[in-house]
Amino acid sequence: MSSMLLDDYLKRLRLPTVARNYERVATEADGNRVTYPEYLCSLLELEIQSRDDSRRKERLARAKFPALKTLDSFKFEEVPALDRKLILQLFKGQYMQKTENIVFIGPHGTGKSHLAIALGIQACQEGRQVKFFTVADLI
């Protein structure tokens, strides 16, 4: 089979990751005596991972976060009045299944935006559509 023909088919089927990797994966598969179905599964897994990564990046871009902040970078010790247990509970995502709203209220510099962005990023990574707004944007 002509590699040009194979490349054309993969392009028409919109499988760019398979097109970029099939030769390398074939060489590895041949060296490891992998069966044809296992080889095909490896290629398709790469394609799926690539598409998932692209969708995740697209969701993050569409959310229009002013910065990318995560819970890992939040400094709980700087806001001692904050209920850490409650915040960690929010990050389990149960509020999304229950379709509950989350509103952060407090003075300037208490981490409201940071936590909202972190929750939004987590939701994007879980496949949800998110849009970030400040109160000023909403008004």
pTM: 0.75
**pLDDT tens column, 80-138:** 888 899 999 999 988 888 988 888 888 888 899 999 999 999 999 999 999 998 888 88
Residue 14 reports pLDDT greater than 90: yes
d(CA 28, CA 46): 14
Q: Hey, what amino acid is at 83? A: D
d(CA 136, CA 121): 21
116 neighbors 64 (Cβ within 8 angstroms): no
| Alpha-carbon torsion (125, 126, 128, 133), positive or negative | negative
pLDDT at 115: 94
**pLDDT tens column, 31-72:** 999 899 999 999 999 999 999 999 999 999 999 999 999 999
Mean pLDDT of 16-41: 92
87 neighbors 115 (Cβ within 8 angstroms): yes
pLDDT at 105: 87
pLDDT at 28: 92
Residue 74 reports pLDDT greater than 70: yes
Task: Quickly count: other Cβ atoms within 10 Å of residue 63's Cβ.
Answer: 18
Residue 1 reports pLDDT greater than 70: no
Task: Identify the three-state secondary structure at position 38.
Answer: helix
